[in-house]
């Protein structure tokens, strides 16, 4: 069962999950508010708890307004400017008699989308966001690769199998046992020093595949103020989205 809470102009999905448990639990995740309840709870109790969880959510959002950012939907408007990796682009959206959505970067300064003229606006915006992430990741991939290689050659001198830039939602970056460096394309919206921190963090995993004191000493040796970058991501990371 799913319902919604409208708070400060933001629509927040609330998911009710009945499972094998003995207690009731509320939680705010990256995509929804979850209400976990025992299977045997009657409908009246569920309705009562929904009222309680909505009141609880409002208090949590009052205490920490930044939590709302994870539920805000990015709406792209024709003619608006967005800044990506320190570069400004103008968004152009053309409505045409077509079925699919296409997107591309024109002359290094326009991001052009062509969309069905009668398509549902919510669906279109979601599709534009996904396409935007792929278009920008492809456009800036070489720049990111150069940045990763710079830090690697300057401080680590480790073999890297591949560097990938994708719209990861669960993390900002990762380093696999196969020595692949994976970075979230959402970092293209972050300050350059924050992006550099995530690069250094993942490169350090080529030497230490853990978060031991030795690992953090490696990070600190390259970026002494790395904790400031981590704090920035904690406070503003939810705003980096497509």
Same domain, yes or no, for 132 and 186?
A: no
The pLDDT of residue 93: 96
Same domain, yes or no, for 177 and 153?
A: yes
In a domain, 21, yes or no: yes
CA distance 233 to 172: 9
Question: Which residues of the chain carry a pLDDT beneath 70?
Answer: none
The pLDDT of residue 88: 97
CA distance 166 to 173: 9
The pLDDT of residue 1: 82
The pLDDT of residue 182: 97
The pLDDT of residue 30: 82
| Residue pair 218/203 in contact by the 8 Å Cβ criterion | no
| CA 129 to the chain's CA centroid | 11
Same domain, yes or no, for 227 and 169?
A: yes
Same domain, yes or no, for 132 and 150?
A: no
Same domain, yes or no, for 59 and 6?
A: yes
| Residue pair 92/86 in contact by the 8 Å Cβ criterion | no
Residue 88 belongs to what domain range?
81-139
In a domain, 76, yes or no: no
Q: How many domains does the chain have?
A: 3
Chain segment 134-151, per-residue pLDDT in tens: 999 999 999 999 999 999
CA distance 206 to 97: 50
């Amino acid at each position: 069962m799913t319902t919604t809470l409208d708070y400060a102009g933001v629509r927040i999905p609330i998911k009710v999950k009945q499972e094998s448990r003995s207690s009731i639990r509320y939680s705010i995740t990256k995509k929804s508010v979850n209400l976990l309840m025992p299977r045997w709870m009657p409908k009246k109790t569920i309705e009562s708890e929904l009222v309680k969880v909505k009141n609880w959510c409002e208090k949590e959002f009052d205490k920490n307004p930044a939590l709302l950012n994870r539920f805000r939907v990015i709406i792209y408007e024709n003619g608006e400017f967005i800044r990506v990796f320190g570069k400004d682009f103008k968004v152009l959206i053309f409505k045409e008699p077509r079925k699919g959505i296409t997107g591309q970067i024109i002359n290094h300064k326009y991001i052009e989308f062509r969309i069905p003229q009668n398509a549902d606006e919510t669906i279109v915006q979601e599709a534009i966001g996904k396409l935007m992430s792929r278009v920008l990741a492809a456009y800036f991939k070489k720049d990111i690769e150069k940045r990763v290689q710079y830090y690697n050659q300057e401080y680590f001198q480790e073999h890297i199998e591949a560097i990938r830039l994708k719209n990861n939602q669960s993390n900002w970056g990762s380093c696999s046992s196969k020595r692949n460096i994976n970075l979230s394309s959402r970092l293209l919206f972050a300050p350059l020093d924050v992006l550099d921190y995530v690069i250094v963090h993942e490169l350090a995993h080529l030497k230490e595949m853990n978060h031991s004191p030795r690992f953090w000493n490696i990070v600190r040796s390259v970026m002494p103020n790395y904790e400031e970058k981590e704090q920035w991501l904690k406070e503003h990371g939810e705003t980096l989205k497509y």
